[in-house]
Amino acid sequence: MIHDGIYRGAREGFDVVLCDTAGRLHTKKELMDELQKIRRSCAKALARARGVGEAEIRGPHDTFLVLDATIGQNALAQAVLFKETMDFTGLVLTKLDGTAKGGVVLGVCDELRVPVRFIGIGEKIDDLRPFDPDAFVEAMFGDPGDAKA
């Protein structure tokens, strides 16, 4: 299905096609193997849509790892395993609407050299926002009454 979705999106002129792998457990080898298959399927669809050989397309343009801000140090272990399989290009940090500040993301960004692209601060579509590093630092280290990440 992912192949057909990407091919159709390209054929119909869409700029973006989003594909969600629905919360794979990054520590399960068989699920990580499935992610590799999904990446290869994306590459095949992109090659087909562009009329080029599969060897010319490595995978999707962007792959984001979505991390729950409440999981703490487990986030780094998940990110390392995910990076070995998917070579992701960015992070999405969710659940920043509660007490979690997402400090572990600093370690993930430093260790794996990937940027935070978006943050989630709630359940609504408008609660997913582009990451603002200045607001994040202010929320982490500034006056708690001024937090606005």
Tell me the percentage of the chain whose pLDDT exceeds 90.
Answer: 10
Query: What CA–CA distance (Å, rounded) separates 147 from 101?
Result: 10
Helices within 51-142 (DSSP H only): 74-86, 104-112, 133-141
Contact indicator for 90, 116 with CB cutoff of 8 Å: yes
What pLDDT sits at residue 146? 54
**Average per-residue pLDDT for the chain:** 81
What pLDDT sits at residue 142? 74
What pLDDT, in 10s, does the model give residues 56-108?
887 778 888 888 877 777 778 888 888 887 778 899 888 876 665 667 778 88
DSSP tag of 126: G
Q: Which position has the higher pLDDT, 89 or 140?
A: 89
